[in-house]
Amino acid sequence: MIATTLADTEYHVKVLSLSDVEDAVWAEAVVSLLMIDVLPPETERLAFRRFDAADLEPMYSYQRREDYAQHAWRGPRTREECERALAENTGLRPWSRDGDHIRFAVSPKGSRELVGEIVLTLTDVEAAQVEIGWVVHPDHAGQGIASEAARAAIEFAFGSLGAHRVCASLDALNVSSAKVCERVGMRLEATLRQSHRQLGEWRDELIYAVLADEL
């Protein structure tokens, strides 16, 4: 019997389950169908939602910018890449295997305006390790949106997704995101020297993290 792991919370995971599953292959197939059907709770100013087709233009408006891409582990995105990202994140997402991820749109409460994104990635199922990432539209920077959204998403990861540790990997030049990590209670665990190339140059990487019992 495959069951959810979110008992005793107001959230739920949508699971396709089979009783008396004896064949290990079928059991593994069932587990792979575990889908996330929950959203982080609203904050004082923000709401989380799934993406829809109306988000294409606002997403492309910042994903294509050089000033955004300099800390995004890649170059600017094309419109086609934004279309694919939306298509992958409009419905339920799997959450049972290493590498599974869920991406939420962030909007002001009572509005559908896209002001940012939150991404949670299940990096290690057995160790309950989750990585968090965030994006704030440059036009809305400096308003505390990243900190407010990240704090809610981390609490969601610990409470509803059962994470034991949440980490964030940052380009060392991404000073604003480092400040967000510190504001939400994450600590700097490591600096990886010249761990990646970004826009033609070697960059250092910062690893921040927090444990469930530290919040």
What the chain holds in terms of domains, given with CATH numbers, is: 39-214 (3.40.630.30)
Length of the chain (residues): 215
Question: Tens digit of pLDDT for each residue in 138-178?
Answer: 889 999 999 999 999 999 999 999 999 999 999 998 999 99
CA distance linking residue 131 with residue 123, whole number of Å: 7
CB 200 within 8 A of CB 74: no
Average pLDDT over residues 46-56: 95
Q: Give this prediction's pTM.
A: 0.82
How far from chain centre, in Å, is Cα 143?
Answer: 20
CA distance linking residue 21 with residue 19, whole number of Å: 6
The pLDDT, as a whole number, for residue 140 is 92
More confident residue, 175 or 69: 175
Q: What percent of the chain has pLDDT over 90?
A: 64
CB 9 within 8 A of CB 160: yes
CA distance linking residue 105 with residue 86, whole number of Å: 10
The pLDDT, as a whole number, for residue 16 is 34
pLDDT band at 184; cut points 50, 70, 90 = very high
Single-letter amino acid, residue 169: S
**Does the pLDDT at position 2 exceed 60?**
no
Q: Which 8-state DSSP code applies to residue 96? A: S
CA distance linking residue 80 with residue 86, whole number of Å: 10
CA distance linking residue 205 with residue 177, whole number of Å: 12
Q: What percent of the chain has pLDDT over 70?
A: 81
CB 46 within 8 A of CB 145: yes
Q: Which residues pair with 120 in a beta bridge?
A: 102, 132
The pLDDT, as a whole number, for residue 81 is 92
